[in-house]
Structure 1
Amino acid sequence: MKNTPIIQTIQHNWLNELKNELRDTNCVRIVSPFVTENIVRHLLDNFRGTEIQLITRYNLNDFYSGVSSIPALEKLLTENAKIKGIKDLHSKLYLFDQKSAIITSANFTNGGFFRNKEFGIKTYAAETISESISYFNELWEIDKSNLSLVEIEEWKKKVQDIRNTTIFHNPLPDYGKSYQQKLIGSNKRYFIKFFGKNETRVDLTHHSRKEIEQSCCHYALSFSRKSNDKRPRKYRNGDVVFMAKMIHGNDYAIFGKGYTLAHDDNRDIAGIDDQQHVSWIFDWPILVRVYDVLFLDTTMSNCPKMSELISDLDYSSFKRTMERHQRGYENIKPWNSLRQQADIWLSDTGAMWLEKKFNRALAQNGQVPDSFINQFYRGIPLD
């Protein structure tokens, strides 16, 4: 690779680029939503290594329409390739050991390699290759099992059964694993609970340890008691709740996370013991107990902000604003959903955004140790 640029753009001759990089490659890793037979034939004819790993889609509608090919996957399996499937996959990536990577718009298809107007880069930069391998491995871990020839035969039958009928048919199934389900689960609901009042907002130097000491956030969410004795019944066992401190600038800093227990009318009312340990709880006596809590061990300045969430996702941030958009409403203002509310229900998109932001902040700042949390009152013991 003497005098070879560390990064090159690619606009033409995709097959030649593939063949060149396959030379002396032992393991080729491919991410491509669509795969067709002819390009698989070129791969197998030119690859002399030992391992092929492919991440693609398992949406049978793609195979029915012809944009992707079951026989192409079958051919790869007969050559001992390992294949996994991800729902809604869109990225395209070609990795050749740890020596080079092609990042591109081109699928592993005739269209991607010969017909379409595609663009990409080939890189020999070690850091970029390392990051690309990490991305591949993250996708690879979403699907825990490799595709089998038994599954291939089942898919071929399902697609052929539809081809044999002229009757209108419902969409075929997608057997790919979901990145969203891996990150936030398929049956979990996500909320953000607000801590503080408008007149008691704190600045960015406020530390999460101080908030734990001053509030009961390590064992419960607290709500005011309405005149009609309305209870927070939307919370179910196992729902995820992020905890957000109200900060100056009309913003919120998300500093903690836990799981909820459904409100119990008898257990979850602050009593005398609670009032002795938490002075303000008389005004906020309705509780939702939380468990498996963790808090960012940092000041509010390093916590994910509500303003960032809304700036990035707009109406897609919250369940209610997303539903309003789907019903055709325009000029939706997500900030209005927070006014005079104790909490907010996140959309799935908002939950994914916040999970990633929170986990990144956790990796950078660490979590408050249990030894600190356990020194404080934890409410009436749970049965």
Structure 2
Amino acid sequence: MIELLTVNHFDKVLDLFDITSKEIKIISPFLSQSMADKLCQIVKDKGLTCTFITRFYLEDFIAKANSLDALEQMIDNGILVYAVRKLHTKLYLFDNKCGIMGSANFTNGGFKSNVELSILIEEENALLSELHSYFDEIMDVVKGSPEGLITKSVIETSREQYKKLYTSKKHAGSGTVTSLKIYGASLNKKDNLDDTDTLLEELKFCRAEKKDCVSECFESVSKSEQKTYPYTIWLKFDGEGNDRLNANEGFPMTDVIINGKTCYLSNYPFKVGSIKDDDVIYMAALTTDTHGKNQPVIVGRGKLEGFKEENSVTDDMLTKYEWMSRYPWYCIISESEVLDTTVKNGIPMDEIWDALGSDTYISSFGRNEDIAAVGRKHYQKAHIRLSGNAKDLIDKKFDALKKKYGVIIYKSQK
């Protein structure tokens, strides 16, 4: 399967982090601290092998297009980091199952705010094999180069150069080109950048790349301040596009017996290692609203227990809920409250989209996308991250409906 990625890079990569069990390979010229944080966390939590190929130009660090701190953090977390000169490829490989290639760097801009276009490749074995071969062929050259591996010593040397140049403001173009460090393996023997003219040409290209006029023209900045919470806020969809929940019935919580105790579950089609203890969940029924429109309707809210590797459905669970064969992984909902009414009387998502637009979701906050694009973000998803702004608005609406209809309380037994 091949899928086009436009505004949903961030959510898709986080989903792929969740389902990866062995290895991640990344090629990205640029890197941001926040994306490095997420990569280090998933590598640490799941014990993954990870190789990261990037570009190591002092010019990039001065321009904040790359981060020495982020590279050092990755090395400290066991990620193998390599440098390649004239690198422009952006490639992400997850085990042998999935890959992404396109325009997006491993940065906040690349994954959240820039205008990017990539393709997601799943279960295309021949193409995935070629992409792995491409990566491995680069690695064969890089490993044989004295400037391939990025070490903490390399970072420290560059950090000292960075401090001197930043303090004196002797950037590229100020007549001190020879002070600007370019480190990395050369894939082409003709591209060693040893002479000043070639170096100037490469640095000019480097600066032009960071000033992408298309991205700057189309990127919009939100006027809203993003509200944050010390936990992740999830919108969980229940039902399927071709099997919507009955609008005239109450919301059906999924109850099972685990070790002799009644527990309530939130099920997923893949492992969801990004869900942690005390994350907040809003349950949205894929149904029909009071006006007959097909859309998600929020009917409940609660707290989750973090995902554990042993959280896979049992034969007893499958006997009770046949649909669990398509959603074989779960998190326990520790406590929740569900509106004591039919699902059509909940909060229709278009009310949230109309009020917040693209600020509804973490992945699109600040993009000022049209409502139609925002309304498509949940397609083919089991869950998606909400912004803190969306949480505040949903809670306000939910509290009003709680007074009107009351709620049913569900608590998983400890």
TM-score by length of 2: 0.42
Q: More strand by proportion, 1 or 2?
A: 2
Higher Cα radius of gyration: 1
TM-score by length of 1: 0.45
